[in-house]
Structure 1
């Protein structure tokens, strides 16, 4: 009787063939689902590569700097912040990224699908905000934009905004530092203007507080403070090919030269307008303005070490986290205690066997944020 109900060899063969025939269909379905899950990366990658050119011709694909919620731009006035004096963490992504890198990942990743933003909101009780911007623009352009965005936030929600914590990955950390520079400059201009008015009227004028007054901590993850060796090598290749002056090398050189202004700025970590506005001399590096650290702020410099410890130290330091060298990731300015403004402190944390992207989703990095936020 059992033999009657057991599948015949023919039926088993047909079943196997059917399963095999369906494999490409199922594989295509998985690829389609994966593509849909990651299709949001297309626009950030396009902007990172050519975003300055998109913005120059007012292409609708050019990303506008904005807070993000639910996959959409949100005006500051529409954020609806109501909880008074709540600690607020603002996340700023890096080159070719978007706000989702802080929010979710694959289910099989360490720590589960939720990343730093949602976990901090749930476990630390902080308010989290995400910024998206066109990473193909000059770093200083985005720095000025972030300064204005945070100024609008402070002006619109003076009672809701408590302690302000800024978290930046890669280029995002440079944008944060640039924003601090322009906020400081704006504050200096207002102070001088107020002093002139007070002198003329002999009546003390009230000073308008800046968003800088709320900043207590800045976390910088995998940030090329002193420039990216990859972009420096790209500049070298571009110039060498141009000097060869053959049709094929000129073609490749011109193609490399079309990379975005944001990528070019990464070579020397240019944070202010004046640095990239200087005429470019191929024989000399661009002059670089030293942007001081902000007074009264705790800086946390998080650095990844990608290569194994048994490799030569010089090799490990050069490659750093795979995209940012160890020295640049630590930043010369951050290691100079004599250059620290009053009340400023620097804490450096190193994470072994971590590449540049791994700093965005590693449990130890999250626990560090959770401890110090």
Structure 2
């Protein structure tokens, strides 16, 4: 059975998907270009043994397991303790396979480059040669062992502990969401039980199941975070503050896989909100508050919801983003730049494969891409350059507020303050400001800059909390559009409006 590659890399030389197709061909030529010593024995018997290993067929077992597993996306259940151990077993295998691929890439480069044969012609011969096939067999065996172990744990989970499934402790839940942020798209592609399904939770941390009516405020977390991230400070968090100021408002928290494409999460969030409205027709208003990536997912959901003319969009009153990289995150751009440099260095280029392991969600943060069109036409796991990404304007009729923060306490006009921002996102990016067609036109009075606050503390800062509560409480009644933008300093006794 031909196992799919775990991590897609578009280059022919490093593509395991290409490797897999080459492994199944019946090539019997020797890799004489690499082993010129006449004393080296022929390896035809070894090739036959490798071919026998590759012919092991697990289709029947996979079919049986498919009947007992609907997948995380279909079941829509939180990751359980049994899911955690099953996912770890498969994840360990994925790690071994990836290490094998990196070792092979380095081995291949060290052998071929000194001979001047590091090109497509000889790289293809490497794949068909003995050494390439050995590496391929190692990957296949590890995949088979890991998948079988995960399958045994899945069967145990489905048939023995199904009725007594234990929820994950909060500490492990946070770890699972970190793993999803780093490699969440890989988890989905490999049907790993650790992949977090998109769900709504209530203020008590339980999946949302109650009948809803009136006004709803939904908080959307950022990269590698979870719905629990909003509750880091007991009885002093943003959700509680909203509930205290507006007791009739229901506060919900979105939990999702931050490693997936932002636009894919946007599609799913849009459909989830439509299902929520269909099941609770008495919902009168929906407000979205997104931190970091959560703001981009909210914008993506609004973009596709409006494009598909879904009813839920008409009920959205306010959109508030906290430190969202509307025009990209500095850290991802630096990481991509460093990876490109490493890829061009002799004998070190193979290490650039390490950078390809990061999730598609992280890659989308490079330029703040929230549309399918920014990546669908590309090979591999990249995004369109900054100047070629597709604009996604804000829906009309929705009050939008942008919050940025800066580590330095000097005024926003300082170029250093703007560029450094909150250590991850520049001030201009968080405020949606751009010279080109991608600028998000939000009135100055709907923008606030909080000095002395880092990116992660945006959801816990007292000053930020008070401002968000004020905007939601006002609910568009005041004319903020005619006011200047807000500058809040840590030494201020109150937010300066």
Q: Same fold (TM over 0.5)?
A: yes
Select which of 248, 256, 265 maps to 1:133. Answer: 256
TM alignment of 1:114-193, pairs within 5 A: 114-125=236-247, 126-159=249-282, 161-187=283-309
User: What per-residue deviation string (whole Å, max 9, x for no partner) do you get for residues 306-336 of structure 1?
Assistant: 1232899222111101110111111126999
Distance 1:139 1:120, change over 3 A: same
Match of 1:61 in 2: 194
Distance 1:346 1:174, change over 3 A: farther
| Structure 1 residue 227 corresponds to structure 2 residue 328 | yes
Greater relative CO (CA pairs within 8 A, separation 6+): 1
Distance 1:118 1:311 in 2: 30
Select which of 252, 255, 260 maps to 2:359. Answer: 260
> Are 1:270 and 1:288, in contact at CA under 8 Å, matched by a contact in 2?
yes
User: What per-residue deviation string (whole Å, max 9, x for no partner) do you get for residues 74-116 of structure 1?
Assistant: 4xxx2322xx4x21101100000111122232xxxxxx64301
Aligned residues: 300
User: What per-residue deviation string (whole Å, max 9, x for no partner) do you get for residues 33-73 of structure 1?
Assistant: xxx76443201100000100001011110001111244454
Distance 1:258 1:270, change over 3 A: same
Shift of 1:353: 0.4
Distance 1:310 1:155, change over 3 A: closer
> Are 1:299 and 1:346, in contact at CA under 8 Å, matched by a contact in 2?
no
Distance 1:355 1:241 in 2: 30
Distance 1:311 1:127, change over 3 A: closer
Distance 2:355 2:438 in 1: 39
Distance 1:219 1:92 in 2: 10
Point out where structure 2 has 5 or more consecutive residues left out of the alignment: 1-168, 473-497
Shift of 1:245: 3.2
> Are 1:297 and 1:345, in contact at CA under 8 Å, matched by a contact in 2?
no
> Are 1:322 and 1:355, in contact at CA under 8 Å, matched by a contact in 2?
yes
Match of 2:450 in 1: 351
> Are 1:140 and 1:175, in contact at CA under 8 Å, matched by a contact in 2?
yes
Distance 1:272 1:240 in 2: 28
Distance 2:335 2:262 in 1: 18
Distance 1:240 1:277, change over 3 A: same
User: The residue matched to 1:213 in structure 2 has which SS?
Assistant: helix
Shift of 1:292: 1.0
Distance 1:172 1:217 in 2: 15
Distance 1:89 1:335, change over 3 A: farther
Distance 1:245 1:280, change over 3 A: farther
Match of 2:180 in 1: 47
> Are 2:391 and 2:438, in contact at CA under 8 Å, matched by a contact in 1?
no
Match of 2:226 in 1: 98
The two structures have a TM-score, normalised by structure 1, of 0.74
Match of 2:400 in 1: 299
Distance 1:297 1:311 in 2: 26
Select which of 385, 409, 419 maps to 1:285. Answer: 385
Shift of 1:252: 2.9
| Structure 1 residue 368 corresponds to structure 2 residue 496 | no
Report which of the two has the higher share of strand. Answer: 1
User: What per-residue deviation string (whole Å, max 9, x for no partner) do you get for residues 187-242 of structure 1?
Assistant: 1xxxxxxxxxxxxxxxxxxxxx6111111111000000000111011111111111
The two structures have a TM-score, normalised by structure 2, of 0.56
User: The residue matched to 1:244 in structure 2 has which SS?
Assistant: coil
Shift of 1:164: 1.2
RMSD: 2.8
Shift of 1:340: 5.1
Distance 1:66 1:295 in 2: 27
Distance 1:363 1:63 in 2: 30
Distance 1:311 1:180 in 2: 29
Distance 2:368 2:433 in 1: 12
Match of 1:190 in 2: none
Point out where structure 1 has 5 or more consecutive residues left out of the alignment: 1-35, 106-111, 188-208
